[in-house]
């Protein structure tokens, strides 16, 4: 297992700690593969009753490592970012998240696939896909309007506005806000509580609440096809060139 993803087990709750704090926990191919492998193993392990996502060093995740996007354009079907979000969407056990600091791009869209989310009031959520000349990903084009309503979805997907933990609570993305040093404990306590529940009943309840995974998986795949096409567009190349120029400068 990659040291960038630290896995630990706590009374039936499996914690996946994104551990790349020097990059604000931006996810690269190696990290995606580690997350996918862990979810696949957890799906077949009766001892794992719930999974918790958290980030090290004060941030949840700055989203995709942008240097990997060139590979997504070349092989959207096999790029591990797509496989990871599909694995999360299809996972049939409870998913919980503890969010502090930045939650950008997939760092936010992943949360729509979680059952419970806890965040600090000053957590920073942002889905800046349009600003990079890209469409939404991770099922966001379906799930954000469902959760937020069309007006707020347009604000946060089309305008690309950011929002904090308090607004995430009002929008229904977050269950509770707490000081940064208490967020992970809240998430772990909730996951351990879930781990004590009857597993089959939990699975049935989640399926009834969420519907069949095939619908969201179909939207994820449709987004991915458009995402790969958009990456080769002149406007995306311009935006990415400007981004990397600013980083090198």
Digit-coded pLDDT (tens) for 17-27: 999 999 999 99
Residue-level pLDDT at 123: 98
Q: Which CATH number fits domain 5-179: 1.25.40.80, 3.90.226.10, 3.40.1360.10, 3.40.50.1000?
A: 3.90.226.10
**Which of 158, 116, 117, 164 lies closest to 140, judged by CA?**
158
Binned at pLDDT 50, 70 and 90, residue 78 comes out as: low
Is pLDDT above 60 for 76?
A: no
What confidence category does residue 68 fall into, taking pLDDT thresholds of 50, 70 and 90? Answer: confident
Q: 46, 33, 161: which is closest to 108 by C-alpha?
A: 161
Do the Cβ atoms of 132 and 240 come closer than 8 Å? yes
CA distance 116 to 96: 5
Domain boundary assignment for the chain: 5-179
Nearest CA to 114 out of 126, 99, 100, 131 is that of 99
Cβ atoms 54, 91 nearer than 8 A: no
Q: Which two tokens stand for residue 221?
A: 């795949």
pLDDT averaged over the chain? Answer: 93
Nearest partner of 42 among 5, 72, 79, judged by Cα: 5
**pLDDT category, 157, cuts 50, 70, 90?**
very high
Q: What percent of the chain has pLDDT over 70?
A: 93
Q: What is the pLDDT confidence band of residue 241, given thresholds at 50, 70 and 90? A: confident
Beta bridge partners of residue 9, listed in sequence order? 14
Q: What is the pTM assigned to this prediction?
A: 0.94
Compute the average pLDDT of residues 123-152. Answer: 96
Neighbours of 165 (CB within 10 A): 26
Tens digit of pLDDT for each residue in 166-225? 999 999 999 999 999 999 999 999 999 999 999 999 999 999 999 999 999 999 999 999
For residues 130 and 157, is the Cβ–Cβ distance under 8 A?
yes
Q: With b meaning 16 or more CB within 10 Å and e meaning fewer, what string describes 64-74? A: bbeebbeebbe
Give me 217's structure tokens: 């998986």
Average pLDDT over residues 123-148: 96
- pLDDT attached to residue 71: 63
Rounded CA-CA distance 71/61 in Å is 20
């Amino acid at each position: 297992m990659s040291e960038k993803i630290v896995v630990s087990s706590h009374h039936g709750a499996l914690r996946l700690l994104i551990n790349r704090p020097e990059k604000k926990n931006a996810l690269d191919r190696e990290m995606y593969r580690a997350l996918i492998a862990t979810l696949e193993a957890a799906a077949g392990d009766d001892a794992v009753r719930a999974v918790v996502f958290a980030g090290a060093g004060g941030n949840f995740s700055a989203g995709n490592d942008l240097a990997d996007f060139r590979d997504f354009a070349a092989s959207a079907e096999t790029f591990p970012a797509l496989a990871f979000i599909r694995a999360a969407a299809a996972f049939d056990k409870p998913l919980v998240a503890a969010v502090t600091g930045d939650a950008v791009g997939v760092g936010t869209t992943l949360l729509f696939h979680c059952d419970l989310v806890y965040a600090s009031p000053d957590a920073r959520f942002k889905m800046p896909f349009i600003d990079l000349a890209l469409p939404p990903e991770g099922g966001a084009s379906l799930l954000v309007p469902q959760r937020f309503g069309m007006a707020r979805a347009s604000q946060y997907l089309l305008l690309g506005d950011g929002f904090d933990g308090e607004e995430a609570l009002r929008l229904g993305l977050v269950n509770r806000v707490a000081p940064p040093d208490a967020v992970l404990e809240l998430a772990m306590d909730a996951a351990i509580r879930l781990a004590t529940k009857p597993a089959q009943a939990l699975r049935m309840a989640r399926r009834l609440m969420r519907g069949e995974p095939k619908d969201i998986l179909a939207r994820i795949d449709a987004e991915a096809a458009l995402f790969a096409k958009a990456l080769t567009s002149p406007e995306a190349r311009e935006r990415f060139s400007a981004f990397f120029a600013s980083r090198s400068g």
